[in-house]
Amino acid sequence: MLIVATELHVRNFWKFIPFVKYSTRSTKQAKQAEGCLHVWVGNKGWRIGYTLTAWKDKASMQHYRNTGPHKVAMQQIANLSKQYKTLVWEAEQLPDWKEAKAKLDEIAFKQLK
């Protein structure tokens, strides 16, 4: 299965409400997406959002990523976020969040202007 973990830092307080709107719609889309095996969304305060998803295959994940509410949200990422990171890897079983976060912590943020 394909695992995707993300960490996104909301740019400022004024971007929080739009961020919640986009993340709620994207989460709903993921939960209904063909090939999606698991969806988890978390946060650290109001400023940091996390996701952990599992997919049957790369094609399923890419279809989700490139369509619907998630596509619209990604078009807004530079407006809503100051930095983010995404890690994708193959796994035999779903990792718990602690394991996924440890992997995510090993990679650098992508800084947005």
Query: What is the domain range of residue 53?
Result: 2-111
Number of structural domains found in the chain: 1
3 C-beta neighbours (distance < 10 Å), count: 22
Helix (H/G/I), strand (E/B), else coil: 109: coil
Please check the confidence at residue 113 and state whether its pLDDT lies above 90: no
pLDDT in tens, 16-34: 999 999 999 999 999 999 9
Q: What is the pLDDT of residue 58?
A: 98
Task: Give the mean model confidence (pLDDT) for residues 77-95.
Answer: 96
Proportion of the chain above pLDDT 70, given as a percent: 100
Q: What is the pLDDT of residue 78?
A: 94
Q: Residue 51 sits in a domain of what CATH number?
A: 3.30.70.100
Q: How far is CA 111 from CA 51, 65, 78, in A?
A: 18, 20, 9
pLDDT in tens, 34-81: 999 999 999 999 999 999 999 999 999 999 999 999 999 999 999 999
Q: Give the span between the Cα atoms of 8 and 93, in whole angstroms.
A: 24
State pTM to two decimals.
0.93
